[in-house]
Chains A and B, each alone.
Chain A
Amino acid sequence: MSAFQKQSDIDARQAERLIRNSLAKKIQQRELRKEYLVPLIKNYKNGLESTSKFEMKQEIEKKLRSRLVGKTIKSARFLKGYEKKYLLWDQSCIALELDDGSLLFPSMSENCDAPGGLFFQSDKGIESSPVV
Chain B
Amino acid sequence: MTKHQVQNEIEKRAREILVGKTIQSLGYLDEDEKNNLLWDKSAIVLELNDGTLLFPSMDDEGNEAGAMFIQTEKELERIPVI
Question: Is the pair B18, A117 in contact by a Cβ cutoff of 8 Å?
Answer: no
Known A73-B18, A74-B19; judge A37-B76 contact (CB<8 A): yes
Indicate with 1 or 0, residue by residue over B31-64, a CB within 8 angstroms of chain A CB atoms.
Answer: 0000000000010101010111111111111100
Chain A residues whose C-beta falls within 8 Å of the C-beta of B11 in the assembled complex: 76-78, 94
Chain A contact residue count (CB 8 A cutoff): 55
Whether A96 sits at the interface, judged by CB under 8 Å, is yes
Q: Is the interface of B mostly helix, strand, loop or mixed?
A: mixed
Interface residues on B, range: 35 or more
Determine which of A64, A120, A130 lies in contact with B17 in the assembled complex, contact meaning CB atoms within 8 Å. Answer: A120
A residues at B contact (CB < 8 Å):
37, 40-45, 53, 56-57, 60-61, 64-65, 67-78, 83, 92, 94, 96, 101-110, 112, 116-123, 127-132
Known contacts A60-B80, A60-B82, A107-B56; can you find 6 more A-B pairs with CB under 8 A? A41-B75, A64-B79, A78-B10, A96-B18, A118-B55, A132-B7
